[in-house]
Amino acid sequence: MNITIRLQRFDPETATPIAIFQEYTIEISEVATVLDAIIKIHEEVDGTVAMRYSCRSSICGSCAMKINGSAALGCKTRLVELAEDGGTITVQPVGNLPTVKDLVADFQPFWDKIRSVNPYLTTSGPEPEFERIASNKSMSNLLTAVNCIMCGCCFSDCTVLEVDPTFMGPAALAKAWRFVEDPRDSTADQRLNMLNNTEGGMWDCTRCMKCVEVCPKEVAPMDRIMEMREAAIQTGNTNTAGYRHTESFYNSVKKNGRLDETRLAIDSAGWTNLPRLLDLAPIGIAAMRKGKLPPLLPHKSEDHKKVQELYESVENDSD
Ligand code: FES
């Protein structure tokens, strides 16, 4: 088949603020992957194209890139899945990381965040003679996160990291979950406490699902983050804006059948947290000027009784 690869070029010596794309049309087998096409371009058409790869089997995680706008492994993505004969596929470096050259990104910020969650087992008590035994069930539970190959696809497309580089990101939080859930680790409480209270920790995920969508190994980092939130709450870590936000959201919809946005903002900040409440004042004034200020007293929806019934039915089921 003939395929055109529209490849984003970046040379640090001649970099411009505007992304430059170069098109390469090649003839290649129908079973080829995007990575195969880029390697062919590199070997036969333009040796200056830079990319990273190793295993070519979805194992090492080196070939992550944006393909038609979403992060994916180049070696796992078949050309025919994206384009017919004569079609065009756009490839770019992963997002949320600085580009070194063409498709090669600097992963230092990614590794810094992984390191920040202490990604290793921490045990206590006397060393056993052979090994620390864990049940099959507890190990099976870890399989989702253990499958992570650190490709950075989730990091690349994380919509929170795009606006807030302090967020730990999906990969690091999924890695943290892996040790929180490991019965051999003796520091689960400290880990939960740290991730619960640190700025950029578990409560900063906005549940956009993008990390779940792009992860090539079905780690589903967002689900792991939600499980850690639940674990943090169960262990009494409730004095955070994130927990208060969740609780306020739950209660106001239960009571009124709709969200009370004014109350949500104040509850999340904390009624006694004067500096944070003062921080909200300019937002409130700007919203008022634009006619966007939510009502100060909540309006109940017409169907609020039905919403309450739904809540009660779910609450009774989970008892
Ligand atoms: S080259 Fe190893 S995952 Fe693609």
How many angstroms is it from 103 CA to the middle of ligand 1? 13
Containing H/E element for 8?
Answer: strand 2-9
3-class state of residue 1 by DSSP: coil
Of 39, 51, 73, best ligand 1 pocket probe by most atoms within 8 Å of the beta carbon: 73
53 lines ligand 1 (CB under 6 A): yes
How many angstroms is it from 151 CA to the middle of ligand 1? 8
Per the structure block, which two tokens stand in for 211?
């990390």
**CATH code, 42:** 3.10.20.30
**Which domain, by its residues, includes 301?**
241-318
The whole-number mean pLDDT for each consecutive block of 10 residues of the chain, a chain of 319 residues, reads 97 83 97 98 97 97 98 98 96 97 97 97 89 90 94 98 97 97 94 91 95 97 96 88 90 91 88 82 88 82 91 85
Please give the pLDDT value at position 71: 98
Please give the pLDDT value at position 271: 83
Please give the pLDDT value at position 292: 85
Query: Which atom of ligand 1 sits closest to the CA of residue 73?
Result: 4
Please give the pLDDT value at position 63: 98
Could you say which of 105, 137, 152 is where a domain stops? 105
pTM over 0.75: yes
61 lines ligand 1 (CB under 6 A): yes
Query: Which atom of ligand 1 sits closest to the CA of residue 216?
Result: 3
A 10 A CB-CB count for 91 gives: 25
**CATH code, 195:** 1.10.1060.10
- Regarding whether 91 and 168 lie in a shared domain, the answer is no
Please give the pLDDT value at position 199: 87
Q: Is the CB of residue 174 less than 8 Å from the CB of residue 221?
A: yes
